[in-house]
Amino acid sequence: MHLSLKILIVLSFLLLPPSSSSSQTLNHQSSFLNPFLQHKNCSLKDYILSIANHVDTADWIKNIRREIHEYPELAFEEIRTSSVIRRELEKMSIGYRWPVAKTGVVAVIGSGLPPFVALRADMDALPLQELVEWEHKSKIDGKMHACGHDAHVAMLLGAAKILKQLESELQGTVVLIFQPAEERGEGAKEMIKEGVLENVEAIFGLHLVLSSDSGVVATKPGEFLAGCGCFKAVIHGKGGDAAIPQDSVNPILAVSASIISLQHIVSREADPLDTPVVSVAIVEGGSELNVIPDSVSMAGTYRAFSKKTFYALGERIKEVIKAQASVYGCSSVVDLEGNDYPSVPPTVNDKRIYEHAVQVSSMIVGEHNIELSPPFMGSEDLAFYLEKIPGTLAFLGMRNVKAGFVHSPHSPYYTVNEQVLPTGSALHAAFAYTYLLNQLLAN
């Protein structure tokens, strides 16, 4: 740490007015969110925003997003996307590790020493046909970036550009995680298995949303996004002639009873304040009007905000289906961990990291552009990281009704408001820089 910066820190303490211990703690934290950069002759906020909003940087971020958008790739297929990431990292002389979890990239900026803080962007697309007609429409039939992951990658690369220019000032190491397969709910788990969180103390994720106006940051402490689980069951009976029902064991009756009983879990057993959901969405069985089938399958989803409720809900679904199958003389196999639709736990923001993210966001976008978000039933596999280390997910709004930025994610008409991309880069960079500085001062 530079001597001049140490002197400035000491002076900032001396100049603080006397107050209660709680106020002193708050001032202690906030006084380092926007330090004066002695060697840049400006504040951190001004320096970060000047880079992010410079026309060359803004155009560069936008062009990266458009390049990725034209060639969307599904989960664990992000070969071209990762090559774009590596190309840009190499241009900035930023070291990285690849491949991680098949197609992921992990880069580092800073001293290489503790503390470590991570920033994460997902990079996979969806199996959708894009219906938006514009110059950079998807060139791959049946695939589209309809959830903003192309923009997430571009924003994190923008943050890399900012942090690289601040590298000599970083009081630790920033880990940049470019993650595959978020939409499959598997990418984060695979990245964790390959050690991307080694030595990392905190993680920050940013997701573009159309639920908030352009430039607004929305998040909440604690339970933020619901966990998403899926179940599939096969109930086996004994097929036969429908006109002679006593000669068969009807799995359709068992499935019907199971569906009704599953709805009772939410209406009669669950805490209504926890707002869990159980939905059966698929029932398959039988091929003839007068023949009872040997087996019937059913599948659906369940969601909850509380981790305790979420995991208990899965077990209760299994119990109910097996019990109803037994009542009707059938056997059953229930799968809660299917490869097609793996479970994702609730996204729970750490209170301390949440507060830091809100303070940093206020610095970048202004207090008037900070919202306390309601909980969302959607899920995010950033939750797997948050089960391992403290962190937070924040939403960056991009809604602009007049400009047509209104279509929800996973829609073939989804579009990204590219004006907010520099803001996203600035938020990432400011979060990482100030987190490292605060950790240094706390120790």
Question: What is the percent of the chain with per-residue pLDDT over 90, rounded to a whole number?
Answer: 79
Q: What is the pLDDT of residues 18-28, one digit of tens each?
A: 333 333 443 44
Is it the case that residue 269 has pLDDT exceeding 80?
A: no
pLDDT surpasses 60 at 138: yes
Among 354, 395, 372, 370, CA closest to 222? 354
Whole-model pTM: value is 0.88
Instruction: Answer yes or no: is 147 a known binding residue.
Output: yes
- Name the average pLDDT for the chain: 90
183 is in an annotated binding site: yes
Q: What share of the chain is helix, strand, coil (3-state, %, to 5)?
A: 40, 25, 35
Strands (E), 261-416: 277-284, 291-292, 295-304, 331-335, 347-349, 370-372, 391-399
Section 311-324 average pLDDT: 94
Confidence grade of residue 355 (pLDDT, cut at 50, 70, 90): very high
Q: Is the pLDDT of residue 11 over 80?
A: no
- Cα(119)–Cα(225) distance, rounded to whole angstroms? 19
Per DSSP bridges, beta strands 370-372 and 217-219 are parallel
d(C-alpha 49, C-alpha 422), whole Å: 8
What would the pLDDT profile of 142-189 be if each residue is shown by its tens digit?
999 999 999 999 999 999 999 999 999 999 999 999 999 999 999 999
pLDDT exceeds 70 at position 9: no
CA distance 223 to 141: 37
Least confident among 57-61, 102-106, 263-267, 423-427: 263-267
Q: Express each pLDDT in 283-313 by its tens digit.
A: 999 888 889 999 999 999 999 999 999 999 9
Lowest model confidence (mean pLDDT) among 257-266, 335-344, 404-413 = 335-344
**Cβ(196)–Cβ(116) below 8 Å:** no
Q: What domains, with CATH codes, occur in the chain?
A: 44-225+346-442 (3.40.630.10), 227-335 (3.30.70.360)
Q: Is 149 annotated as contributing to ligand binding? A: yes
Q: Is 407 annotated as a binding residue?
A: no
What is the rounded distance in angstroms from the CA atom of residue 142 to the CA atom of residue 129?
4
Q: Residue 407 gets which letter from DSSP?
A: P
Which stretch of 66-80, 111-125, 308-322 has the lowest confidence by average pLDDT?
Answer: 308-322
pLDDT at 37: 80
What's the whole-number mean pLDDT along residues 251-280?
Answer: 86
pLDDT tens digits, one per residue of 215-244:
999 999 999 999 999 999 999 999 888 888
351 bridge partner residues: none
The pLDDT value recorded for residue 13 is 33
- 197 pLDDT above the threshold of 80: yes
pLDDT of residue 342: 79
pLDDT tens string 70-88:
999 999 999 999 999 999 9
Lowest-confidence region among 44-48, 54-58, 263-267: 263-267
Q: Which residues contact 72 (CB under 8 A, 6 or more apart)?
A: 125, 126, 138, 140, 143, 144, 145, 150
Label residue 32 by pLDDT band (50, 70, 90).
low
